[in-house]
Amino acid sequence: MTASASDLAVENIVIVGSGPAAWSCAIYAARANLKPLVYEGALTEDNRLRGTLPLGQLNLTTEVENYAGFPKGIQGPDLMLAMREQAEHQGTRIVTEDVVSVDLSTGTPFSLTDSAGKSLRTHTVVIATGASANYLNIPSETRFKNMGVSACAVCDGALPRFRNRPLIVVGGGDSACEEANYLSKFASTVYLVHRRDTLRASRVMAQRTLDNPKITPVWDSVIDEVLGDDSAGVTGVRVANLKTGATRNLEAAGMFVAIGHTPNTGFLKGQLKTDDKGFLVLSDPFRTTTNVEGVFAAGDVADPVYKQAITAAGMGCKAALDAERWLAAHGIH
């Protein structure tokens, strides 16, 4: 006999995501004896290409110099593994699958289905799925994905095809500067193609980038087309100057896109309120409550403003406390 949905044991709290918000939430929830279950994401090629593998964006970065407690900085992947280990040590259970659907229409307990086909029920859910990298969405970019086009220098930058060759980074924020500096270790030259003539990045990061002799800014410019062929992949880009309209070709073995991020909310299928950019809207700016009772949100998925590792971790803590209070108020825990 197979169990029907209503026969399934009901979890106290399911946390979807595996960045700083998710692990901080899990640590607090575990210490409150809520026996949290974290869905950290599945190890699939699809997730690799979308930048949604377990351990989130910090696992795709290098040095983190602004997370309090590490005076000499810490590598992003080391920080994430330490958070995961701490959550597990406190009693968090971890599933290495995606949550593929959730039904919030019934009210609590909610039903979830994971990428292994398993169903479960939970009194509360914390959405901490973060955000993933945007692409330019021009046809030539799509054609050369995995053949020289990437949105993650740390994942792909050390590949032999990029060594001692010119490379392109697109964008002018902290991510673009970080990628350009990282790639300058491998590349002969890095062209930083930015649509304006000032960087959006923090002052320290911008100065470091402009001082790097291997980085050449290409101001006021956008990518018109990625050039290449099926055997060599990317061989260059055609850039257009937005002020003069002039175009020119730059030879390059790769193009790294760093133009911001979009919140990962597809699996929610519009059941939670979002803003015009897709960020989940918190019903009270000082809490982590959403428009559905029992559903909380934390980290970059619900933060159009700060988007920092440390603010995500703080929101994760708040989500655990909000969920715990909600469970207590409903006499569940």
> In whole angstroms, what is the distance from residue 244 CA to residue 18 CA?
45
Q: Is 234 in the site for ligand NAP (CB under 6 A)?
A: no
Per-residue tokens: 106: 């019934």
- Considering the candidates 25, 98, 114, 156, report the single residue annotated as catalytic: 156
Q: Is 66 in the site for ligand NAP (CB under 6 A)?
A: yes
**HEC sequence for 267-309:** HHCCCCCECCCCCECCCCCCCCECCCCCEEECCHHHCCCCCCH
Q: Cβ 183 to ligand NAP, closest distance in Å? A: 14
Task: Identify which of residues 242 and 321 has a Cβ nearer to ligand NAP in the complex.
Answer: 242
Based on the residue annotation, tell me whether 156 is a catalytic residue of this protein.
Answer: yes
277: left (phi over 0), alpha (psi -120 to 50) or beta: alpha
CB atoms within 10 A of CB 246: 10
Name which position in 261, 299, 303, 327 contacts ligand NAP (CB under 6 A). Answer: 261
Task: Identify which of residues 136 and 332 has a Cβ nearer to ligand NAP in the complex.
Answer: 136
Indicate the residue type of 7.
Answer: D
Map the footprint of ligand NAP across residues 99-138, applying CB under 6 A. 136
> In whole angstroms, what is the distance from residue 170 CA to residue 192 CA?
6
Task: Identify which of residues 36 and 172 has a Cβ nearer to ligand NAP in the complex.
Answer: 172
Binding range to ligand NAP, per CB under 6 A, among 74-82, 107-115, 166-174, 314-322: 166-174
Instruction: Concatenate the DSSP letters of all residues of 30-71 into one string.
Output: HHTT---EEE-----HHHHHHT--TTTGGGG--EE--STT-T
Q: Cβ 323 to ligand NAP, closest distance in Å? A: 26
Per-residue tokens: 135: 């692409």
Based on the residue annotation, tell me whether 78 is a catalytic residue of this protein.
Answer: no
Binding range to ligand NAP, per CB under 6 A, among 13-21, 141-149, 256-264, 322-330: 256-264
Binding range to ligand NAP, per CB under 6 A, among 20-28, 169-177, 280-288, 322-330: 169-177
Based on the residue annotation, tell me whether 303 is a catalytic residue of this protein.
Answer: no
Cis preceding linkage at 304, omega within 30: no
CB atoms within 10 A of CB 126: 31
Name which position in 141, 156, 174, 322 contacts ligand NAP (CB under 6 A). Answer: 174
Q: Is 76 in the site for ligand NAP (CB under 6 A)?
A: no
Q: Is 259 in the site for ligand NAP (CB under 6 A)?
A: yes
> In whole angstroms, what is the distance from residue 95 CA to residue 37 CA?
7
Query: Using CB atoms, what's the residue nearest to ligand NAP?
Result: 173
* Catalytically active residues, by annotation: 152, 155-156
Q: Contact residues for ligand NAP (CB under 6 A)?
A: 66, 136, 170-176, 178, 195-196, 200, 222, 258-261, 307
